[in-house]
Amino acid sequence: MESLVCIKPGEFAYRTADTPTLQKDHSVLEIKRIGICGTDLHAFEGTQPYFEYPRILGHELAAIIHDTEDNSGFTKGEAVSIIPYFHCGHCVACINGKPNCCAQMRVFGVHIDGGMRNYVAVPNYALLKGEGMSFEELALIEPLAIGAHSIQRAHVRKEEFVLVIGAGPIGLGIMEFARIAGGKVIAADVNPQRLSFCKEKLKVEHVINVMAENTTERLKEITDGNMPTVVIDATGNLKAINTAFQYMAHGARYVLVGLQKENISFSHPEFHKREATLMSSRNAVRSDFEHVMNSMRNGRVNPSTYVTHKLSFNTVKEQFASLLDPANGVIKAMIDF
């Protein structure tokens, strides 16, 4: 089989490898689609935390079962996706129902080699049955589940203002599930094209271009002076993260989904007087994946909204760098095998 390996920042190479053999409690998958996410782009740039090279990227996948055990609950040829956070099952997080932040976490395509290859072997506990969903839908479940998990973490209530900073694929998923939870979404970004996408495709009523507008004043205007009670960062940009502490209402919850390498800095008195809550949101749990799949099936989320660029697996090496150029208007790129 053929795999695409990120040798070092900025460099890919195609390599030939053996097809995985079937192991106990695992299935061998034939990859059909891979979504390219921010983690992949940051790994290519050399800015992704928790990352070592060389690495096969890719964790947003759609596949069919190539081989599996007779008692696995799956059949050859069946369409599946995966929950790509391989956990130990016995650490304090796993015991307490939080395998998404397992102390021994191995994220597929980050800590271990991922899906940019023809075949992969994964544990059966990580499989999700496709049950009639298209390959494009299956490959979009994981990034949308990250958005769904952040909304669950924030406990978004009906009619409260939810400010989502960053209108990339993860931010867009956060907006979708904030809307589904009944929140009134405010999108903030530096890219006017992505803000237009929010208004036109996701029907987000309030958008703020933070480069062209006074964000604080616009938030006061939108919220009748109260500011948002939920703030969610999906940028991973240190300046954006630090600045957003100013945008919280009294009693607000601030959720960090975006990730960066440096220390966060904010005014303790300003944070304290608000009795604010700061939390991170890492990955997602199975219930989030199920929520996403149900939302797709009942029409509350339209997966076709997101895929703006398609690549063939044998052209990814040459085309990948172009996905980083904002001028190309990439929302979600999908690799077809």
User: In sequence order, what are the beta bridge partners of 209?
Assistant: 189
Residues 28 and 79 in one domain: yes
Query: Coil, strand, or helix at residue 177?
Result: helix
Q: Is 15 left (phi over 0), alpha (psi -120 to 50) or beta?
A: beta
Residue 298 lies inside a defined structural domain of this protein: no
User: In sequence order, what are the beta bridge partners of 34?
Assistant: 61, 335
Residues 126 and 151 in one domain: no
Mean pLDDT, the chain, whole residue set: 96
Residue 285 lies inside a defined structural domain of this protein: no
Predicted confidence (pLDDT) per residue in 86-114, tens digit: 999 999 999 999 999 999 999 999 999 99
Residues 57 and 117 in one domain: yes
Residues 91 and 121 in one domain: yes
Residue 289 lies inside a defined structural domain of this protein: no
Predicted confidence (pLDDT) per residue in 210-248, tens digit: 999 999 999 999 999 999 999 999 999 999 999 999 999
Which H helix or E strand runs over 62?
strand 60-68
* pLDDT at 95 (0 to 100): 97
Predicted confidence (pLDDT) per residue in 240-296, tens digit: 999 999 999 999 999 999 988 889 999 999 999 999 999 999 999 999 999 999 999
Q: Is the pLDDT of residue 201 over 90?
A: yes
Predicted confidence (pLDDT) per residue in 39-86, tens digit: 899 899 988 777 899 999 999 999 999 999 999 999 999 999 999 999
Residue 195 lies inside a defined structural domain of this protein: yes
* pLDDT at 46 (0 to 100): 87
pLDDT more than 70, % of the chain: 100
Which alpha helices (DSSP H) does the chain contain, by range?
A: 38-45, 92-95, 135-154, 169-180, 192-201, 215-222, 238-243, 268-273, 286-297, 316-319
Residue 12 in contact with residue 59, Cβ under 8 Å? no
Phi, psi of 233 (to 5 degrees): -95, 125
CATH number at residue 271: 3.40.50.720
Residue 31 in contact with residue 63, Cβ under 8 Å? yes
Residue 296 lies inside a defined structural domain of this protein: no
Residues 173 and 93 in one domain: no
Question: Last residue of some domain: 280, 295, 328?
Answer: 280
Residues 243 and 332 in one domain: no
* pLDDT at 42 (0 to 100): 87
* pLDDT at 177 (0 to 100): 98
Predicted confidence (pLDDT) per residue in 142-195, tens digit: 999 999 999 999 999 999 999 999 999 999 999 999 999 999 999 999 999 999
- The rounded Cα 226 to chain-centroid distance in angstroms is 30
Q: Is the pLDDT of residue 123 over 90?
A: yes
* pLDDT at 326 (0 to 100): 85
Peptide bond just before 54 cis, omega within 30 deg? yes
Residues 271 and 316 in one domain: no
CA gap 313, 331 in Å, rounded: 18
Counting the structural domains of the chain, the total is 2
* Amino acid present at 108: F
User: In sequence order, what are the beta bridge partners of 161?
Assistant: 184
Residues 109 and 220 in one domain: no
What range does the domain containing 214 cover?
147-280
Query: Coil, strand, or helix at residue 106?
Result: strand
* pLDDT at 317 (0 to 100): 96
Residues 276 and 156 in one domain: yes
Residues 202 and 313 in one domain: no
CATH number at residue 73: 3.90.180.10
CA gap 157, 139 in Å, rounded: 29
Query: Coil, strand, or helix at residue 289?
Result: helix
Going from the C-alpha of 31 to that of each of 126, 133, 138, the distances in angstroms are 15, 15, 11
CA quadruple 168, 172, 178, 181: dihedral positive or negative?
negative
Residues 215 and 255 in one domain: yes
* pLDDT at 308 (0 to 100): 93
Residues 156 and 122 in one domain: no
- Give the 3-state secondary structure of 238-288: HHHHHHHHHHCCCCCEEEECCCCCCCCCCCHHHHHHCCCEEEECCCCCHHH
Q: Is the pLDDT of residue 36 over 90?
A: yes
* pLDDT at 77 (0 to 100): 97
* pLDDT at 48 (0 to 100): 79
